[in-house]
Structure 1
Amino acid sequence: MHSESIPELAEADVVNAASLSAIEGLRHGFFTRRGGISEGLYAGLNAGIGSQDDPGRVRANRRAAVRYLGIDAEGPQTPWQVHSPDVAVIDQPFSGERPKADAVVTGRRGLPIGVVTADCGPILFADRRGRAVGAAHAGWKGALTGVLEATIEAMEGLGAERADMVAALGPCITQAHYEVGTDRRDEIVALDARAERFFATGRPGKWQFDLPGYIVDRLGRAGVAASFVGRCTYGEPDTFFSFRRTTHRSEPDYGRQLSAIMLDPLN
C-alpha cells in the first residue's frame, strides 16, 4: 500500500480520555475501526499486525494513527502481546522481532507507543510531569497477574511517581457481554478475592464479568488515578472490532483497534 493511500483520520474516528487530554505535552488516542482502508472482516482502521488482513493496508492504517498524533512515522511501537505481566521499556523503535510483552513504557519524547485490542482493555498511562508514558493490554489474565502494576513500576523506573500518574482505560468488552463459566470465575477469585464483586449472576453456570470495573479497581489499589471511557467493543459493531463477537458469528478472523500515546516532541 503506497503512502498516498494513507487515510486522514477525523476527530470522530478517535476516542479520547478527558483525564489524558487535560495533561499538557501529551498526545493520545483510543482509535476505533472507523477511518481506515481495510476491507471485508477488517473493514476500517485495522491495526492488527497479527491479523490475516493485507499487510500494506495494516501499515497504512497504523501510519494514519501516528499522523493523527502529529508525527510522520511507520506506526506506534506495539509489542507482540501474549497475555503476560511483562513490560518492554524502550527509548527507540523496536529493531527486528518485537518483544513478547503486554505493555510498553518510554520516557522519550516523540516516540509513540501503544497496544492493540479487540475486547481486552487498553490502558494508557501518563505522568503529569511528562517523565514517562505507558500503554498496557489487559484481559482478565493480564490484569490478574500484574501487568498494570508492572507498567506503573516501569514508569517509576524512568523517574515518574505514582501520585503524578493518570491511567485511562479505553474501549473494551463490558459486563453485559462478557460471560464466563464458574471455573474461570473461581480461578480469578482464588487469586484475588476482591475480584468477587465484579461478577454478576448470569445464565445457569455462567457469570458476567465486569472487566473494566476490575481494571480500574486494580489501578486504584496500586495508587494511580484511573478512569474508563465507557465504551463497549462488543456492543458497538460499527465502531469497534470484537474477538468475542467474531467468535459468536463464526467468522474466521477479526481486526484489532489501536490505542497509542506519546510525549509531545515539541513540549
Structure 2
Amino acid sequence: MTRRGGVSTGPVASLNCGFGADDDRAAVAENRRIAAGAVLPGATLVGVHQVHSADVATVGDPWDETGKPKADALVTDRPGVLLGILTADCAPILLADPEAGVIGAAHAGWRGAHGGVIGNTVAAMEMLGASRDRIGAAVGPCIAQESYEVGPDFRAQFTDGDARFFMAGEQGHWQFDLPGYVLHRLTEAGLQRIEALHRDTYAEPDTFFSFRRSTHLGEPTYGRLLSLIGLRA
C-alpha cells in the first residue's frame, strides 16, 4: 500500500495504518479496513508488535490488536487470514508457497535483516509445509542507498564481507544499501524467486511515509505503510 486513499489528516495523511502514530484511532482503524478490503475482503487482519527482532509468530487462531505478540514476522497456512506488516523506511517482505498454501510477511530493517528475521521466516514457513525452492518473495518500498546515510557505529555492526552494501559518503559516513542487503539475505536463505519494487520511501513524499524524512523535516509524527498478504478461504 502507498500513503494514498485513506482518511487521516495532517502529517500522516492519508492512509496511515499504524496506531503508533499520533493519529486518531478511529481514522487508523478505517484506514486498515480500507487496506484490508482492497486486498482480501472479509479476511481477518493480523499483525504483531514490531520490535526490530528476528522473531517470527505463527498464526493459527487470529489474535486481536490488544493480544498481538512481539515479533517482526508472521506465517500462516490459514485461509481467510490477512498478514500485515507496518513499515516507514524498513523493507516489507511478502512470501508465499502457493502449492503448500503457506504465506509469510516480514518487517526487515537493518537490525532484523542482520539478525536473521528473513531466514527465520522461511524456516517457520517450512514448519507449515512450505518448501524454500517454491517460495516466492516480494520486497516492497523501503529507504534506498542514496537516502540512507549511516555512521561508523552502524558500519561496525557488519563484517568486511558486507562491504559491498556500503558506499562512501561524507567523511566518516557511508550510504547503506538496505534493499540490496535484504535481497542478499533472501538469496542466502535459499530463495530463487525474488522480486523487488525498488522504490525509495524517503524520496517520494507524496507516495510513501518515511520515518527518516519526517525526522529530518522536524515533523511531530510519521505515518506507517501497511503491506498485506493473505490466503483466500
**TMscore range, shorter length:** over 0.9
- Contact 2:100/2:129 (8 A) holds in 1: no
Select the residue among 176, 182, 185 that pairs with 1:215: 182
TM-score by length of 2: 0.96
After superposition, the C-alpha distances for 1:211-243 in whole angstroms (9 at most, x for unaligned) are: 000000110011113221111100100000000
- Contact 2:42/2:80 (8 A) holds in 1: no
* Secondary structure of 1:36 counterpart: coil
Aligned position for 1:91:
60
- How many residue pairs align between the two structures? 231
2:174 corresponds to which letter in structure 1? W
* Secondary structure of 1:253 counterpart: coil
Aligned position for 1:154:
124
Select the residue among 24, 27, 37 that pairs with 1:67: 37
1: CA distance, partners of 2:39 / 2:215 = 32
2: CA distance, partners of 1:70 / 1:161 = 24
1: CA distance, partners of 2:38 / 2:157 = 41
- Contact 1:130/1:263 (8 A) holds in 2: no
2: CA distance, partners of 1:44 / 1:130 = 36
Select the residue among 216, 225, 228 that pairs with 1:257: 225
Q: CA deviation at 1:130?
A: 4.1
% identical equivalent positions: 52
2:187 corresponds to which letter in structure 1? G
- Contact 2:22/2:221 (8 A) holds in 1: yes
1:253 corresponds to which letter in structure 2? T
1: CA distance, partners of 2:56 / 2:74 = 6
Counterparts of 1:119-198 in structure 2, within 5 Å, are 119-189=89-159, 193-198=160-165
Select the residue among 41, 51, 56 that pairs with 1:82: 51
- Contact 1:63/1:72 (8 A) holds in 2: no
1: CA distance, partners of 2:189 / 2:87 = 23
2: CA distance, partners of 1:177 / 1:218 = 21
* Alignment gaps of 5+ in structure 1: 1-30
- Contact 2:88/2:209 (8 A) holds in 1: yes
1:243 equivalent to 2:211? Answer yes
2:70 corresponds to which letter in structure 1? K
Question: Which consecutive aligned stretches of 4+ in structure 1 deviate over 3 angstroms post-superposition?
Answer: none
Q: CA deviation at 1:248?
A: 0.3
1: CA distance, partners of 2:104 / 2:3 = 22
* Secondary structure of 1:232 counterpart: coil
* Alignment gaps of 5+ in structure 2: none
- Contact 1:119/1:234 (8 A) holds in 2: yes
Select the residue among 200, 210, 232 that pairs with 1:232: 200
TM-score by length of 1: 0.84
Q: CA deviation at 1:91?
A: 1.7
